[in-house]
Amino acid sequence: MSFSRRSFLAASLAAGCTALTAVRSRAEEPILVGVSGPLTGPNAQYGAQWKAGFDLALDQINAAGGRPFQYVFEDSQSDPRQSVTIAQKFVNDPRILAELGDFSSPASMAASPIYNRGKLLQLGITNSHPDYTKSGDYTWSNCLSQDDEQPSLANFVIEGLGRKKVAVLHLNTDWGVACRDRFVESAKAAGATIVATEGFQSGERDFRSTLVRIRDAGPDAIVIEAYYADAAVIVRQVHELGLKQVIAGVVSIYSPKFIELAGDDAEGTYTQGYFFPGEQRSEVQAFVTAFRAKYGQDPDWFNATAYDGLIFISRIVNQFGASREAIHEGIAKIKDLPSAVFGKATFDPTSRRVSAPHFVRLVVKDGKFAAWDGQKPKAI
Amino acid sequence: MGPWFDYTVNGLVVGNIYALLAVGLALIFGVANLINFAHGSVFTVGAYLGWTALHYLHTPLPVTILLVAAGSAVVGVAIERFALRPLNHRSRIAPLLATIGVSLVLDQAVQLIFSPDPRALPSQLPDWRLPIGGVTIGALDLLIAGVGLTSAALLFGFLRFSKLGWAVRATAQDPDAASQMGVDTNRINAVVFAIASALGGVGGLLVGMFYNSIDTTMSFDATLKGMVAMLLGGLGNVPGAIAGGLILGLAESYGIALFGTSYRNLFAFALLILILMVAPNGLFSRRRELPPEPMTGTFVAPSRPLRLPRPALAAIVVVAALFPLVWNQPYVLQTLTNALLMALLAFSLTLVSGTVGQISLGHAGLLAIGGYASGLLALDHGWPFVASVPAAGLSTAILGTLMVLPALRMTGHYVAIATLGVGEIVSLVILNWTGLTRGPMGLSGIPIPAIGPIELDTPRALYWVVLVLVVLLGLLQVRLLSSHLGRTWRAIREDEVAARAYGVEPLRYKAMAFAFGGFGAGIAGAIAAHLYSYINHETFNTQLSILAITVVILGGLGNVLGAVLGAVLLVALPEIFRAAAEYRMLIYGIALLLLIRYRPQGLLGTI
Amino acid sequence: MMASLLEITGLTRHFEGITAVDGIDLAVQEGELVSVIGPNGAGKSTLFNVISGLDRPDAGGVRLDGVDITGRSPEKLARLGLARTFQHGRVFANLSVLDNVLVGTHARLAAVRPGWRGFGPLGELLLAVVRPGAVRREEAALRSEAEAILARFGDRLVPRLDHPAYSLSYANRRRVELARALALRPRLLMLDEPTAGMNETETTEMEEVIAALKATGLTILLIEHKLDMVMRLSDRVLAMDDGHSIAEGAPATVRDHPAVVEAYLGHPANQRTAVA
């Protein structure tokens, strides 16, 4: 809607870095990718993480030459009411060739039918809801469903760390519940007992009473299925309560912010990553080096998966052509995409997700994530 | 000592935090008779001021606390001076909306300055922990309790024994009389906002240190929990607020102990409603007393509603109906459809809150009931859209009215917070009743709206369907307002005591308004569910309830046409500001404040 | 002697340490006009609140036409024919003059409140939307009745039927309140200082209206400060001070009762009204 854009161009200029002004300053008509995600509202922090990943990807894509690439980030606040209007806007803007997002399941999945009817590829970069890619042939995701990740985490905790009685503390959302269910399944299959599962709501910060409940269930490991900010608050309170159990967490706690927020209490927390800055795979190293150079800090999973999303689209465009249909066709066919998260990624046309990658086992040591040395922690 | 002792200690530790929040809210309520929705935002501002002082100036803790208190007090005074004072005596409800606008502006400003990423706020206190039973408490726990209790004691003494405190109490009892007696009520209000905000800001600092993590999403939760705690203690009752906070903390802790973590808030809110049913004025207020007879003024400010002649209304409907033929732009139509769905919700709310005067802050709960009813009927029982939507409307009318009945027995601001609690309860029941609602996984694959074999898969078709519903339900509501029900409802709003003296049973008529409104809201929720194809317990959240009340106040209380106008404006404005990206919600907040400032009775006026 | 229409025995109401109404006995016969006088704070309005069900007594009882109505809700009492006005006037500010009076007829609505067992509110909602003939006729009849009541006040209110009540003068609001009470077709009318804040002309007009009502045989309980008006209108007078009854009987007797004189003179703030 040009009327609104023009009248608020001044505001955009004040914002300085919106994608839009950048679009206008280019002479050659760029390839546009739409992004629907939270820039304001309760999930704004994740939108900001995405942006850092996108901007790095953009630098690299455009430095390589060829037709310029650009993204249009529309703020949905992760609200389905807004994500559906954004979907209509993108679908009906012929310059937009693919879409990334949204963040939360209600916002993403409300928009999916519109993308599918409009035949515009919707690539979910953080969507792990098991039903997300079932919306239709145009909804894909480079985020693993928990079917891959949780068995690996369970294996780490039970075989690797040698724990037998596990308590699971999970975010009570579609994502957290999917994590919990897959983990419990795999852990039981591996012979462990689940002594407690506790679901908390996002925004909760007090876990003392929950931890008393967990303590009294007598676990030898506590598994956290939550994002980094919540996980940091949890590990602090675990230690404040004087609990000595082994703590392990899902991939999404792997973030420098986790260590900053948890402080000394982060020490000894186990997790796994598809990617890890200390890792030697060249795709990962290239990403980590570039990210540090641009932002002066280590990337986390949200940065990396966003970076991947945009890079994937550019690779598909290079190989299959710059049209919506070509991108839709290409995503099913393209092999071994370079990925900051997975090293190499290939989409499975049936599940419309990337196929199983490998995981790196990590532990926080001396205030840093380090590869796990295979040492089992002492029994408590 | 058993785990119950541990749960008790934990409950008290967290209850301290709620108490600290509730004290500030109670002070402002006591004097300004206002629920300050910006209190949680001041709490966040305080946390970030503390972070700034620590990070750049490396101040020691006492200095940090003083700086935060001073900075937050300035924010509080500014809120009073620029957002609330200009509204004085204009309307009782405009200030409520103004505090919502202020909270939006403050949260966005903090987010823009500090980025939405959470930050660490390390505690400067020694790291010792004192084991008590099976748990431990640390220096910060004691400091928070100390600040809460000391401030409550100081406030109590200040109000009782100082000259300024006497003036504050006089203003609280009767602002008009106080100003006739030579009390500068503006100054008193500013003092009260300064004290309450300083407390709120220091609270934010200490709580941020407690968790070593601060971010901009803390505000809403802080306001919500603080309000519940204040309500438990009795609105405006400062010592009661401390007790209310502790009780809330204990309730949550015992809720976790008894039912598990996911029942924490459900247990707390259910307890709130139960307590209010037994002690409708909070636990610590004196026994029932007749409210003093109002000398002047009633619930709403005098207003001359703008009335459009019938031909003009008809013309608007025709233009709205023909519009998509001329400009078939899916993005615009989708935006308008969203606005019209919001209007359906606003009809319901403007009836309950505008016409009958029962402020409901949990109205999105009705959308959730409607959405889930229709979604489950379609998914699990194969009902077609045309059958499941009206069924959802009926279920919402019945369930919604039953749930809200205890709240409707209360008066004034208690209704507002109780309905807020009911809205939260709806969402939490959906989250926890996994067997029926699929819990956190939500409902996915809800079929797209269809009338018989015709699928409404274009934005245009859906727009027309919703437009027809808006026109039909709007006309129906206008017809009701012109019947004896209209004057009866409005009489309850204007003066419930006088209405009762003339034979009006308030509960019966409030329930009737809720049932009729619930029907429309249920339909809106059902259509939204089919439109989105996926809903979960967060799709229809309290933020949406707050948006709805904003729409209603902006349009004009009880004003059906105003509800449509308010909905279109408040849904379209953020879209118009879209190009401003991160700044758009800030601009929206400022626009909202300006609208309230210059049009406190709403754009089209109260009917 | 026939049973009194209103009979109060030992009525008592305490507020935090003070006893606002202390063991009041009073009987009002059908067709009588009884006034309650006393200095400010004597407990007159509290007495009214307790009788009309807005407040509950701590002891004692109220009977209306022989039926014990102690502690019944005001809405039930309204249906039994008890109507009252308020000390400072409580009109519905944003309702029109006519609507204010029509609210007074609420307790008498029949056609639109079918009283279907268990589904009454639903029926009322449906009838309000559909409005069959019976409902329309009832509404029209009540409307003309309300207009007739408003005509009692001459030209004061008739030209302002559609004006919102907040736009009226203070005296007019008091008139609207009285009209609303009359629309209930009360058996007992309780007036709390109906002439407060009125000038002399307005007071005289109000006195005439009340006298006319009395002449129709309406039973009236009146709180009033203007003693000469009380003397002219009342059949009997009850004087209160500090919650107690200090004198009761014929107007002149009560006026000259030493306790009454003392009560008024002992409260300097009220001296002027007592003499007036």
H/E element holding B2? Answer: none
- Mean pLDDT per 10-residue section of chain B, whose length is 607 residues: 83 90 90 88 96 92 94 96 80 80 93 88 82 83 86 83 81 75 84 93 92 88 90 83 92 92 89 82 62 48 76 92 89 92 95 90 94 96 94 95 87 82 93 91 90 87 94 95 93 90 92 94 95 90 87 89 93 83 82 83 82
Predicted pLDDT at B174: 72
Predicted pLDDT at B373: 97
Q: Are residues A269 and A298 in the same domain?
A: no
Q: For the residues of B495-522, what is the DSSP string, one character each?
A: -HHHHHHTT--HHHHHHHHHHHHHHHHH
Is A377 within the bounds of a domain?
A: no
CB B48 within 8 A of CB B209: no
Name the nearest CA neighbour of C119 among A371, A10, A74, B398: B398
In B, which residues are within 8 Å of A263 by CB distance?
120, 122, 212
What's A311's domain CATH number? 3.40.50.2300
Predicted pLDDT at A20: 42
In A, which residues are within 8 Å of B580 by CB distance?
8, 11-12, 14-15
Token digits for B307?
A: 């009335």
Provide the β-strand partners of residue A33: A71, A98
H/E element holding B138? Answer: strand B135-138
Mutate to test the interface with B, among A21, A85, A197, A207 (most CBs of B within 10 A): A85
Closest residue in C to B498 (Cα–Cα): C90
Q: Does B216 sit within 8 Å of A44, measured CB to CB? A: yes
Q: What is the pLDDT of residues A18-71, one digit of tens each?
A: 344 444 444 478 999 999 999 988 888 899 999 999 999 999 999 988 889 999
- Tokens 């990590």: give the residue: A362
- Ordered by where they begin, the domains of chain C are 6-91+187-275 (3.40.50.300), 95-167 (no CATH)
Q: Are residues A204 and A291 in the same domain?
A: no
Residues of chain A falling short of pLDDT 50: 1-27
In B, which residues are within 8 Å of A14 by CB distance?
580, 583
Is A379 within the bounds of a domain?
A: no
Topology alike, domains B2-125+137-278 and B310-598:
yes
Q: Are residues A173 and A67 in the same domain?
A: no
Query: What count of other Cβ atoms lies within 10 Å of the Cβ of residue A350?
Result: 8
Token digits for C25?
A: 């006995």
Q: Does B216 sit within 8 Å of A8, measured CB to CB? A: no
Residues in chain C: 276
Mutate to test the interface with B, among C103, C125, C170 (most CBs of B within 10 A): C103
How many folded domains does chain A comprise?
2
The fold of the B2-125+137-278 domain, in CATH, is ABC transporter involved in vitamin B12 uptake, BtuC (1.10.3470)
Name the nearest CA neighbour of A236 among B122, B58, B204, B125: B122
The CA-atom distances, in angstroms, between A54 and each of A47, A48, A69, C224, C243 are 10, 10, 11, 80, 79
Collapsing DSSP to helix, strand or coil, B232 comes out as: helix
Predicted pLDDT at B375: 96
Q: Are residues A114 and A26 in the same domain?
A: yes
Query: Could you tell me which chains touch chain C, where touching means 3 or more CB pairs under 8 A?
Result: B
- Tokens 């490991």: give the residue: A221
In B, which residues are within 8 Å of A104 by CB distance?
538
User: C–A contact (≥3 CB pairs within 8 Å)?
Assistant: no
Helices B364-381 and B506-532, packing angle to 10 deg: 50
Token digits for B464?
A: 């027309």
Q: Are residues A245 and A299 in the same domain?
A: no
Q: Does B487 sit within 8 Å of C95, measured CB to CB? A: yes
Helices B459-481 and B484-494, packing angle to 10 deg: 80
Task: Supply the range of the domain harboring residue A176.
Answer: 146-274+360-371
What residue spans of B162-217 are helical by DSSP H?
163-173, 175-180, 185-211
Phi, psi values for residue B311, rounded to 5°: -60, -35
Predicted pLDDT at B90: 58
H/E element holding B588? Answer: helix B584-598
Predicted pLDDT at A356: 64
Q: Are residues A114 and A209 in the same domain?
A: no
Is A376 within the bounds of a domain?
A: no
Q: Are residues A56 and A157 in the same domain?
A: no
User: In whole angstroms, what is the distance from residue A228 CA to residue A207 CA?
Assistant: 15
Q: Are residues A215 and A233 in the same domain?
A: yes
Q: Are residues A105 and A11 in the same domain?
A: yes
Q: Are residues A238 and A364 in the same domain?
A: yes
Predicted pLDDT at B480: 94
Collapsing DSSP to helix, strand or coil, B286 comes out as: coil
In B, which residues are within 8 Å of C73 by CB distance?
500
Domain B310-598 part of CATH 2.40.50: no
In B, which residues are within 8 Å of A302 by CB distance?
none
Please tell me which of the candidates C87, C94, C131 has its beta carbon nearest to residue B293: C87
Predicted pLDDT at B285: 66
CB B14 within 8 A of CB B175: no
User: In whole angstroms, what is the distance from residue C197 CA to residue C199 CA?
Assistant: 7
Q: Does C125 sit within 8 Å of B485, measured CB to CB? A: yes
Query: What count of other Cβ atoms lies within 10 Å of the Cβ of residue B122?
Result: 14
Residues of chain C falling short of pLDDT 70: 1-3, 265-276
Asked if the bond preceding A102 is cis, omega within 30° of 0, the reply is yes
> Where on the phi/psi map is residue B282: left (φ > 0), alpha (ψ -120 to 50), or beta?
left
Predicted pLDDT at B286: 57
Q: What is the distance of C-alpha C20 from the center of its chain? A: 19
Q: Are residues A164 and A248 in the same domain?
A: yes
Q: Domain map of chain B by residue range?
A: 2-125+137-278, 310-598
Q: Does A213 sit within 8 Å of B116, measured CB to CB? A: no
- Tokens 């550019």: give the residue: A314
Distance from CA of B467 to the nearest CA of C (A): 21
In C, which residues are within 8 Å of B297 by CB distance?
93
Q: Does B440 sit within 8 Å of A177, measured CB to CB? A: yes
User: In whole angstroms, what is the distance from residue A364 CA to residue A265 CA?
Assistant: 10
Q: Does C84 sit within 8 Å of B480, measured CB to CB? A: no
Is A310 within the bounds of a domain?
A: yes
* β-pairing verdict for A121-124 and A139-141: parallel
CB B518 within 8 A of CB B350: no
Q: Are residues A189 and A299 in the same domain?
A: no
